[in-house]
Each structure stands twice: as C-alpha cells, then as structure tokens.
Chains A and B, each alone.
Chain A
Amino acid sequence: MDLRLSSAEPTAAEQDVVDTALSGMLATPTDNQPFTDTGHNARGRRHLLLPALHAVSDTVGWISPGALNYIARRLSVAPADVYGVATFYALFSTEPRAARVVHVCDDIVCSLAGGKAVATALTAENVCWLPSPCLGLCERAPAVLHQLAGEPDFSQAPATPAKVLVAARGGTDAATADQEFANARMSAPQSGRAGVRLLGRIGVIDPTSLDDYRAHGGYAALRRAIQLGPSRVIAEVRDSGLTGRGGAAFPTGVKWNGVATAPQRPHYLICNADESEPGTFKDRVLMELDPFGLIEAMTIAGYATGCEVGYLYIRGEYPLATRRIQAAIEIACRRGYLGSDVMGEGFAFDIELRRGAGAYICGEETALLNSIEGYRGEPRNKPPFPSVSGLFGKPTVINNVETLYNVLEILQIGGPHFAEIGAGRSTGTRLFCVSGAIAVPGVYEVAFGTTLRKLIELAGGVTGELRAVLLGGAAGGFVLPPQLDMPLTLEGAREIGATLGSGVVLVLSTAADIAGILRRIAAFFRDESCGQCVPCRVGTVRQEEALARLTRGAPRGSWETELVLLSDLAQVMQDASICGLGHTAPAAVQSALALGLLTAPPSPLSNGSTTVKVRP
C-alpha cells in the first residue's frame, strides 16, 4: 500500500511528540533514513495510533493535518483511516481549538448539583467550554475537566464558578488541583472503618508509596497465588463464585479458565478501566487511592491465565487516576514487581497503560479491543468471543477494575470462604456509587443481599422526599419507594425487572425533573452510539425525538401512538443491535414509562396546576 498524503507538514513540536510517543516501539527516522520502520513493521504497530493522537492533542490542543500526515507516515496507516479514528473520540478535535478547554458535566447528578451555574459563568466570561457527559465525579458534583494543551489535564470537583474561572485562566495547575482530592472520606465515607474489604486500603495508605502498600498487606495475594500455581488460582476464583462487576456479571473463573486453556499464544489480559456509565465512579476511586492494588491484581490475573502483557485501558477523563496508575506502574517496574522476572519468581508480566479519549462505547469489551488496536471503537460481532479471538486475534481475558480487586480478597481468604459472603449466587461484596439526593454521597461497600433501603440509610438517607432511585445507571432502570426492601443481588434486581449494572444508585427526590433526566439519558445514548448498526444509530435519535415530543406535551397523534412508537424502537434496539449499548439504550425510558414516572407537562391553559399521569 502506498500512502498518498496531502502537502501539509507537521511542525517541529508535533513531529517531536509523535516521535517520543512512538520511541522504543519504532525506530525514529533520521536525516539519512527518513522512514526506517515501514510497511509491515509499522503497520504491526497500529496499536500506537491512539497514543500518538493523544500525544499531539495533549501538546498542541488539536490534530492538525500536518500532524495527522506525520502519524500516518510513521505508522503506515492511510490518512483517511487516521482521520476516521480521530473523529471518533470526543476529546480530540480535528479543527483548531483553544489551548484550554473546560468540559462541564451536564449529566444527571451534576445538573442536580448546580452544574449549570458553572456553565453560565463560563459563557459570561467568554471561556471555551463544552458540555460533557458524566465525568465520574458524582460524589463531588458538580464537576469539570480542564483539557489543556502543553500541560497536564486536571479535574475540579466540587466546582464553583469562581474556582473554575481561576483555573480556566491558568491560575491553577494539576498538582494544586489534585490536592483537592486528598480527602478520601469524601469519596469513600466508609474508609478507615472496620468491615470493608475492597475499600480496606482506601484513605489508609499513601497511594504513591509501594512500601506503604506492602505494609498494609500488599503483594501478599500475589505470593499466595505463586504458592498455589496458576490452575489452583483459577480454581479458587471459580470456587468463589465471583462474577464480573462491570455490568454483565459473567463468572470470572469460567472466563479465566477459557483463556488459560486456550492453545493459541500469546494470551492477553485487559483491565477495563473505561468507566463511563453515568453515575459510576467506583473504579476511579479505587485507582486513585489504591493504585498498587490494581497492579497486583492484574499481575495475578496475568499469572493465572498465562498472559505476559496486560493492557490497562483507562478512561480519558480521569487525569488523576491516570497519574496515580502511571506512577504505580513505574515504581512496580523499578522494584521488580513488574517486568521480565516478577518478584524473582521466574514469570514475566508487564502493563501497558492506554488512555481512552471520550467514548462510552469503548467500555464495551470488543469496542475496547478495536480501540486498543488503533481502529475506531466499534464493537465487533460475537461470536467469536474475546476469550477465543480477542486482542490482535488472540485469546484475551477482559476484567473490570472492581472485579480484579476482588481477586486479591479471594486469595487472602480463599474461594470457598469468599463464596459464603453475600447471598445466593451473588457472592462477595459489591461497591455501589451512591449519588444524587443523598446526605453523604460516595462509594459504599456492602455485602450482596443488603437491601437498597439499608444502603441509602448507610449513606445518611435521602435529602428531601424520595421519588425514585435510578439503579444501574443510564443503562439501568428505576426503583420506586415501595421497592426499597429489594435485596441488592443479581437475582433480587432481576425479580423487579431492574439491574445492578455497574453499581449506580442515583437517588432522586421529588424535586428532580424526571422528564429532563430521561431526555438527558436519551441524548446520552444518541451521542455515544458508535453509529455502526442501524437499530442503535437511528433508534437512539428517534427515541430522543419521541421523548422530546412527549415531555413537551406535543405528541404526534396521541400519547398512545407515541408509547407504541417508543416500544417498537425499544424492541428493535434490544433485539437487533450489535452490542450492549444498543440493547440497553431504551432501558431507562421503558422503565420510567412502565412505572408511570413520566407525567405530562402542565398544560399552559390550566395555570400549570394539573398533571396527567401517563400509563403505558
């Protein structure tokens, strides 16, 4: 394949950052040999495309035609392909953009917490800002993310108009902003208390110190794993009954065993840290405050399933967690906890950190594979499943962050003991992200089987009168006050037609605008659909339009015809979409309709005094 490029040339700075990003993996071109690594050699490194785009965007603030050409030449990828990848991600711009951009969360929790005031202030002061879906900082809402060219990004939460304005004008740097997150109690109110397992080290240890981590039980689990050997580690995990915590609840032991016994080599491990479900922030808190725990858990997973490389795909909107994990990986490498001979035990394991760039869909496991490989984050058709043909076509085990932390616990107390915690088939403890109209929002760890009522009490109770709980996030459903005694288990949720999903418990009081929340959810899926398949690409648009008409009180035909239309859309999205995003895109809307949560807006003729309840 010959590349045909436009005449646009990169600036020296752009060329420099791309070369740095690719150094170590590809020979840097010299004056004598302009492009030494070409052809297959370069194309075999297409997985460096996303890091290269990040490098340019981080430094220059946008992906210029010259920079894009240079990346295309270095990696021998057609410029149209690079452009297709760059335009897939919300954090990249292919048009010139301000060097400082503020992403203001306008999702459910931040809107309830006054995120709009921040946006209004930024508009008034002529600051470049963009609305953003949930930034995963709901326990500190409202939140903003500063995306900066030439300096590290940082988040601010809780954000006040004054604080954000100072930062937007360059008055705050990442180090200062990160200090605002030092109080672990604010993210995990149970921290330091007895009885917590996954959160045991949160707020207790210094997240930047490996020695502190080891002094608090760190690397005991890996030693235990090495004592047991790979197959017995998998047996422990299988005995524990651990299921995936990312939302699909697939048995982890089965997944591990599938990859461990796959004859094809090499095997790959991926940690899915692209936590983007609106209202979810548990993985972020774990990574920020106990980063070595994830490194150790990934090492155990790699050891058990025969992987020498693990990819950690972290959400692009998590600058602090990225810094903490990056530092932890470096320290672990230096101290021999990662590398060619882990702890002198004779096995090799390395972690490659990859950053997402603003795409909810990349949390879908096959979309994540494509994203790492340097393609657009479009989900693949299954089968084949990743455990058979995953990253680079090889057997791949993909686990969520919280799932991996559970492995540490399993090795410490043993699989059978772990299985005794919880209720029924839902074993162990679970992290819930409690936010919204709640006294003390944060990540809470409770054993499976705890009731929703108890969890809300643990978080200090509802502020105001409870209207509903959005359980499972945008892809989940609503729970009404009479159902609060439901046990938080996979089965308990299924029984009332809900899902625990990624552990979102978004509490809504009677003051919340349910119609507005539903429209935000519909808009979220319309934006985050990858656009590949028709049911999801067009279905999410039509769902948003129909919902807009309903909530405006201007249905086409009657309320009933609109409800039929929404249900027709829901069915095709659930039945015929390629991936879980399409399958769950209508879930919250359908749940709200089934529970009668959507009411007609007050008629302008009746002084706004009456509301009509909609029954499906």
Chain B
Amino acid sequence: MLLSTIRRLVTITVDGRELRVPDGSTILQALYAVGDTTQADTPVLCWAPNLTPVNACRVCVVEVEGSRALVPCCARKVEDGMQVRTNPERVRHSRRMVLELLASSVDLSQAGGDVQRWIASYGVDPQRYGPPVAPADDRDHRHAGHHHYPDGSTAETVAQPVKIDNELYVRDYSRCIMCYKCVKACGTDAQFTFAIAAAGRSFDIRIATEYNSELPESACVYCGNCIGVCPTGALKSVREHVLRESGQWDPAAETVTTTICSFCGVGCNLELHVQHGQIVNVTSPSDHGVTHGHLCIKGRFGFQHVQNLPNQTNTHTGTPE
C-alpha cells in the first residue's frame, strides 16, 4: 500500500531458502509476496485479504521450527530467523485431511475454482467416511453437549434446508464451512451491525441470528458484505440462487465491468458481474482503498432499475419483467 509505514526487514528461511520480508507480516503474506509458485499457492479458506485472520480452518498450516504443532501461516507473524517448512509430509497430510473432512461434511460444489483444484491436488477422498446422512431439519435447535450416538453407517453432514426469508439473499448453510468470515464482515471488520454470530457448539455450531429469527426481524441491514466474503456459496443473492436453481447460471458467459457507484458521493468502486446482458451480482475489489471490498445495500443490490425496463421480455430467463 502506498502510504503504509516503512518497516524493518527480517530474514526467514522457507524450505531452505532465505527470504527478506517486512517485520510484522504474516508467513502467508511472505509466501504470497516472495514465495515460489507452490508456496504462493498455499490453500486458504477462512482467510481473506480484507478481514482479520480467524485461523479457524487450519488448511494453511506450515511447520515452524520449535513449534510442536503445525501453525496457521495466515495468522502467524514472521520473526527474524524463523525456519518455515511448507512441504513436509505432515503439512500435506493436515491440508489433505482438512479438505477431506470439509468435503465429507459440507457441500463444496459451489466453492471457488481454487478449492476444487486443491481438493484434486491434495488427493482428497471424502467417500471413505461413508455415505452422507440424510439432511437434518433440527440443526438450529441442537443443544450444546448432547447428540445422538451414531452407529457409523452414514457420515454426519451439515446438510439442511435453504433459508430464504427475504428478497435479497439466501442462506444455504449446507454449504457453510464455518470460516467466520460473514460474522467478521457483519461485525468488527466492516459493518458493525452484529446481526449474526456463531451459535451452538462442536459439530452443531452454526451461524445464527438471535433465536434463529428471520433476517427481516434481525439487525441485518442487507449490506451483503457477508455474501461478498463467503467462500463456498452458502450466502448468495436471491438472483444468483434463482438462476442456479433453474439451471440458467452461466459463469462462463460472465463479464465483469468496473464502474463507480452513483448513489452517493463516497465513490465506491463497483464490479458489475454480467451474464447474458443481465447484471447478476455486484462486488467491489478487496484492495480498493475506500471500500476494502465492502459495500452497502444500495451499491450491492440497487441495480435492478438498470434492467427493470417496462414491457420488455427478459431474454435470459424468458419471463416478462
């Protein structure tokens, strides 16, 4: 960043190679900045460039000399003389297992291309835990400290009904990996609305409003910043959800146009995601100095008027608008 403070450089050794990186950076930042191709492809799920690391997913673990357990490189700061190894067998094992445990319990089919690539390259085999259990409708009401003892014939998952309780976005928690990003974006990292929080415990942990009330009854202001940071498609706009459900979602045809939001004078950068002449989503780049990737309800959802023309048939969906 242009105006960041000038920092002392420290020397760390990564896989036998000495790297000079600014003091105060995380190991992950160092790998991204000066690592080789493999090191720069360190898998991350709960980390995002515009959020404080929560280091919950543990997929980015590396070995650090002097530390008995592996350490999450997204959160661990570099220290002078630190010895880091990114490729021992136990690192690969942990990464494979984290991806495997998630893939066996969560629907990752809408997670980004990186995730699919990591799943393939780390040799993940989610099938070995058995066939998935039938979707559950009681996940919002499970009590901490109690569960039905399984017989092991099926593998427990987080599969559950989709929550559609408002016109702007859906919550499909069958796809939720509990990365806490939405909670951070709703709370202290962006919006300071605190409409959602982690609730429950153990495998029955979930993202919830108070007493699982519907979003319109909650503190939600529909900024959609939770959608913006969700890595697996658990949170998405109703528009995207409808198109996907009707088989008309077409990411191959998507173009992205950069523009500036016209609703107020702040000047947020917008990226309009367009499929077949229709805006399907609006995002903002995470490295933008004003938005840091976060928007408000107007920027993210206030685009319908652009395509809400009278007496025109939507060529994409074939329905009159």
What mask results when residues 532 to 544 of chain A are scored 1 for a CB within 8 Å of chain B, else 0?
Answer: 1111011111101
Interface centre among B97, B128, B145, B192 (most CB of A within 10 A): B145
Whether A4 contacts B61 by the Cβ 8 Å rule is no
- Minimal beta-carbon separation of B85 from chain A (angstroms): 13
Whether B98 contacts A534 by the Cβ 8 Å rule is yes
- Minimal beta-carbon separation of B193 from chain A (angstroms): 8
- Complex contacts, B146 vs chain A, CB 8 Å: 90, 130-131, 527
Q: Known contacts A84-B208, A359-B144; is A574 also within 8 Å of B149 by CB?
A: no
Whether A535 contacts B202 by the Cβ 8 Å rule is no
Whether B203 contacts A526 by the Cβ 8 Å rule is yes
Whether B141 contacts A4 by the Cβ 8 Å rule is no
- Minimal beta-carbon separation of A200 from chain B (angstroms): 36
The CA of A531 and the CA of B98, in the complex, are separated in Å by: 14
Q: Known contacts A531-B204, A540-B202; is A571 also within 8 Å of B194 by CB?
A: no
Interface centre among B195, B197, B210 (most CB of A within 10 A): B210
- Contact-residue size bin, chain B (C-beta under 8 Å from the other chain): 35 or more
Whether B201 contacts A530 by the Cβ 8 Å rule is yes
Q: Known contacts A83-B208, A527-B202, A530-B201; is A554 also within 8 Å of B94 by CB?
A: no
- Complex contacts, B187 vs chain A, CB 8 Å: 78
- Whether B166 sits at the interface, judged by CB under 8 Å, is no
- Minimal beta-carbon separation of B75 from chain A (angstroms): 6
The CA of A569 and the CA of B70, in the complex, are separated in Å by: 15
Q: Which of B211-219, B231-239, B262-270 contacts A (4 or more CB under 8 A)?
A: B211-219
The CA of A79 and the CA of B213, in the complex, are separated in Å by: 11
Q: Known contacts A79-B219, A541-B203, A578-B55; is A376 also within 8 Å of B198 by CB?
A: yes
Q: Which of B12-20, B99-107, B297-305 contacts A (4 or more CB under 8 A)?
A: B99-107
Q: B217 — nearest CB in chain A belongs to which residue?
A: A6
Whether A531 contacts B210 by the Cβ 8 Å rule is no
The CA of A595 and the CA of B56, in the complex, are separated in Å by: 33
What mask results when residues 234 to 253 of chain B are scored 1 for a CB within 8 Å of chain A, else 0?
Answer: 00000000000000000000
- Minimal beta-carbon separation of A55 from chain B (angstroms): 19
- Whether B129 sits at the interface, judged by CB under 8 Å, is yes
- Minimal beta-carbon separation of B176 from chain A (angstroms): 12
The CA of A544 and the CA of B149, in the complex, are separated in Å by: 8
- Whether A575 sits at the interface, judged by CB under 8 Å, is yes
Whether A576 contacts B201 by the Cβ 8 Å rule is no
- Complex contacts, A541 vs chain B, CB 8 Å: 105, 150, 156, 203
- Whether A20 sits at the interface, judged by CB under 8 Å, is no
The CA of A378 and the CA of B54, in the complex, are separated in Å by: 11
The CA of A159 and the CA of B126, in the complex, are separated in Å by: 45
- Whether A305 sits at the interface, judged by CB under 8 Å, is no
- Complex contacts, A532 vs chain B, CB 8 Å: 56, 178, 205
- Complex contacts, B72 vs chain A, CB 8 Å: 381
- Whether B3 sits at the interface, judged by CB under 8 Å, is no
CB contact list, B137-157 vs A, under 8 A = 141, 143-147, 149-153, 155-156
- Complex contacts, B210 vs chain A, CB 8 Å: 6, 65, 68, 79-80, 82-83
- Complex contacts, B150 vs chain A, CB 8 Å: 541, 544-545, 548
- Whether B57 sits at the interface, judged by CB under 8 Å, is yes
- Whether A502 sits at the interface, judged by CB under 8 Å, is no
The CA of A308 and the CA of B107, in the complex, are separated in Å by: 51
Task: Point out the residue from A519, A545, A568 that lies within 8 Å of B156, measured CB to CB.
Answer: A545
What mask results when residues 99 to 143 of chain B are scored 1 for a CB within 8 Å of chain A, else 0?
Answer: 001101100000000000000000000001110000000000101
Q: Known contacts A4-B219, A547-B152; is A542 also within 8 Å of B58 by CB?
A: no
Interface centre among B56, B150, B200 (most CB of A within 10 A): B150
The CA of A87 and the CA of B58, in the complex, are separated in Å by: 24
The CA of A358 and the CA of B144, in the complex, are separated in Å by: 9
The CA of A542 and the CA of B132, in the complex, are separated in Å by: 12
Task: Point out the residue from A68, A538, A552 that lies within 8 Å of B102, measured CB to CB.
Answer: A538
Whether A542 contacts B211 by the Cβ 8 Å rule is no
- Whether B272 sits at the interface, judged by CB under 8 Å, is no
Whether B130 contacts A95 by the Cβ 8 Å rule is no
- Whether A133 sits at the interface, judged by CB under 8 Å, is yes
Interface centre among A79, A358, A530 (most CB of B within 10 A): A79
Chain B interface, DSSP helix/strand/loop, else mixed: loop
Whether A542 contacts B57 by the Cβ 8 Å rule is no
- Whether B196 sits at the interface, judged by CB under 8 Å, is yes
- Contact-residue size bin, chain A (C-beta under 8 Å from the other chain): 35 or more
Interface centre among A93, A527, A554, A557 (most CB of B within 10 A): A527
- Complex contacts, A583 vs chain B, CB 8 Å: 69
Task: Point out the residue from B194, B197, B203 that lies within 8 Å of A531, measured CB to CB.
Answer: B203
Q: A130 — nearest CB in chain B belongs to which residue?
A: B146
Whether A537 contacts B178 by the Cβ 8 Å rule is yes
- Complex contacts, B199 vs chain A, CB 8 Å: 80, 83-84, 87-88
- Minimal beta-carbon separation of A202 from chain B (angstroms): 31
CB contact list, B71-92 vs A, under 8 A = 72, 75, 90
Whether A578 contacts B58 by the Cβ 8 Å rule is yes
- Complex contacts, A547 vs chain B, CB 8 Å: 152
CB contact list, A506-547 vs B, under 8 A = 519, 523, 526-535, 537-542, 544-547
Whether A4 contacts B218 by the Cβ 8 Å rule is yes
- Minimal beta-carbon separation of A384 from chain B (angstroms): 10
- Whether A594 sits at the interface, judged by CB under 8 Å, is no
What mask results when residues 161 to 204 of chain B are scored 1 for a CB within 8 Å of chain A, else 0?
Answer: 00000000000000001100000000100001111111111111
Q: A569 — nearest CB in chain B belongs to which residue?
A: B97
Whether B141 contacts A531 by the Cβ 8 Å rule is no
Q: A4 — nearest CB in chain B belongs to which residue?
A: B219
Q: A92 — nearest CB in chain B belongs to which residue?
A: B144
- Complex contacts, A531 vs chain B, CB 8 Å: 178, 198, 200-205
- Whether A549 sits at the interface, judged by CB under 8 Å, is yes
The CA of A381 and the CA of B196, in the complex, are separated in Å by: 22
- Complex contacts, B177 vs chain A, CB 8 Å: 534
The CA of A88 and the CA of B142, in the complex, are separated in Å by: 11
- Whether A577 sits at the interface, judged by CB under 8 Å, is yes
- Whether A1 sits at the interface, judged by CB under 8 Å, is yes
- Complex contacts, A575 vs chain B, CB 8 Å: 61, 69-70, 90, 93-94
Whether A534 contacts B59 by the Cβ 8 Å rule is yes
17 A–B pairs (Cβ distance < 8 Å), ordered by A? A4-B195, A6-B213, A80-B194, A80-B195, A80-B209, A83-B199, A90-B201, A93-B143, A94-B211, A359-B144, A381-B75, A527-B145, A538-B102, A539-B101, A545-B155, A549-B152, A575-B94
A residues within 8 Å of B by Cβ?
1, 3-4, 6, 65, 68, 78-84, 87-90, 93-95, 130-133, 358-359, 376, 378, 381, 519, 523, 526-535, 537-542, 544-549, 552, 554, 556-557, 561, 565, 568-569, 571-572, 574-578, 583
14 further A-B pairs in the complex, CB-CB below 8 A; given A540-B203, A572-B97: A78-B195, A83-B199, A87-B201, A378-B198, A527-B144, A530-B201, A531-B178, A534-B98, A541-B150, A544-B152, A545-B130, A556-B128, A577-B58, A577-B69
Pairs A-B, 3 closest by C-beta atoms: A90-B145, A531-B205, A78-B194
